Structure 1
Amino acid sequence: MIKKIVGKNIKYYRIQKSFSQTEAASLVGITPSYWGYLERGQKNPSIELVAIISEVLGVKASLLFVESPENLSEELMLYLHILNNMGNQHIGFILTIIKAYIDLHKDLSPVHE
């Protein structure tokens, strides 16, 4: 259920930012009780609200729809956060390097069956 995934991610990123529910709700412009409904997956936020929440939490809105961000390593999350705050020119350059590295190692890694 998508609202459960979004709610879990809202809570995850709020905690990463060290915000209380009340602080986050205030920054977004909603009540703390509505914030709680969102975190528990009991309410569906509008697209506009998702955009505001993601901005306050400092993440791309699309990350709120990823099924398990907490399973990503802390280091990877840090790098993703840093990338998220870089300009498009830098991101494009870094992605080019990552793609080249993956392509190089695809050919060298054993085939998994």
Structure 2
Amino acid sequence: MIRYQLRGVTILYNRIALFRAERGVSRRDLAEAVGVNNQTIGYLERGDYKPSLELAMKIAAFFGVPIELLFSFRPFESVADTLRRAAAVGE
């Protein structure tokens, strides 16, 4: 597996903000649902904090998706690129 590193630190990418926006969920609502402070959600979204496995699994369960859709060691493809690729396949 390729890991992206910055000064020896493994970067963990996430799509928490994207999933929150898509579902109209506030940071506070998500934080209450998974049992953390709402500031923790902000730290996670900015990449300032890496979640424990337990917290990552709780967030994935909250959104009803596999953990790999929310967290990755590789940068996620942009939504625009994903849509372009899907449109090209559908042509």
Shorter-chain TM range is: 0.5 to 0.7
Q: How many residues align?
A: 71
More helix by share: 1
1:60 aligns with 2:61: no
* Higher normalized strand content (fraction of residues): 2
Q: Which runs of 4+ in 1 moved over 3 A?
A: none
Unaligned runs of 5+ in 2: 5-10, 87-91
Gaps of 5+ in 1: 77-113
Name the TM-score, length of structure 1 as normaliser.
0.56
- For 1:24, what is the secondary structure of its paired residue? helix
Aligned residue type for 2:65? V
Name the residue aligned to 2:7.
none
Partner Cα distance (1:51, 1:69) in 2: 23
Taking only the aligned residue pairs, the percentage that are identical comes to 31
Match of 2:30 in 1: 24
- Greater relative CO (CA pairs within 8 A, separation 6+): 2
Matches within 5 A, 1:72-83: 72-73=82-83
Structure number with bigger Rg: 1
Aligned equivalents of 1:26, 1:68: Cα separation in 2? 29
1:70 aligns with 2:76: no
1:16, distance to aligned residue in structure 2 (A): 1.1
